[in-house]
Amino acid sequence: MRILFFTFLLFALGLSGCQNITQTSSPPRLLAEDPDWDVHRFRTPKTLAGLEADGEITAPRRRQWRYRLPAPAGERVTVTVVPMPGGWERMSPRRAVSGRYGQLRQRRLDHLMQRPDLSLTVDEERLFDLEGHATASSRWHWLDNNGNRRDQALLLMHMGDHFLLFEGYSRDQNSRWLLLLLKRAQAEFRAAQTKPHRHVNTRSQ
């Protein structure tokens, strides 16, 4: 019964994706060709949408920030920036977002297949413009065999030479609430990038 239900679930997810997200065929791996693309150019807000900074991971072609509410609250948000893959600049922004979203979606399905104790329900998938940027969003929730639920939401934005990915996780709030939180987080994160650098005078008085 579990196998039949799981097969039907994957089939339903496939239909949902075709109706709402136009995916590219065999999208290339994320390999930026520009050696001058700098992950360190992005500012790190100390707080984001009311959540506090909780760590950072930096790699040559990837940077991720983690935010969370103080315990015992279980809400968490991650912000990830990655460069646009080489050659993807020839795509329209909406097609590029669809291609990248398709990769992220497949990873979640692969994760589900490795966890037979979990079932996944996709609440919503959308492709739209957010403040002038091609954007994909999704809301879903997990259930384990004991009925424990965890809601998640995703917001992926095309930002010219890079993607911005916002992901939210909660044990207590639903996915709709999480998506609203991510929209607030993206606005605050992007606003932080436009603030002028403060000049510090190091000359002795």
pLDDT in tens, 51-84: 999 999 998 888 999 999 887 778 999 999 999 8
In this structure, of 12-21, 24-33, 74-83, the range with the lowest mean pLDDT score is 12-21
Tokens of 36: 């001058």
Q: Do you know the residue count of the chain?
A: 205
Q: Are residues 152 and 125 in contact, defined by beta-carbon separation less than 8 angstroms? A: no
Distant-in-sequence, close-in-space partners of 123: CB < 8 Å, separation ≥ 6:
139, 140, 141, 175, 176
Residue 39 has pLDDT above 90, yes or no: no
In this structure, of 11-15, 51-55, 161-165, 172-176, the range with the lowest mean pLDDT score is 11-15
Give the helix ranges, DSSP H, for the chain: 2-20, 93-113, 175-193
pTM for this prediction: 0.79
For the residues 6-17, what does the mean pLDDT come to?
Answer: 36
Q: Which residue has the higher pLDDT, 89 or 63?
A: 63
Domain 2-23+40-193 has CATH 3.30.450: no
The CA distance from 205 to 187, in Å, is 40
The CA distance from 79 to 93, in Å, is 20
The mean pLDDT value of the chain amounts to 80
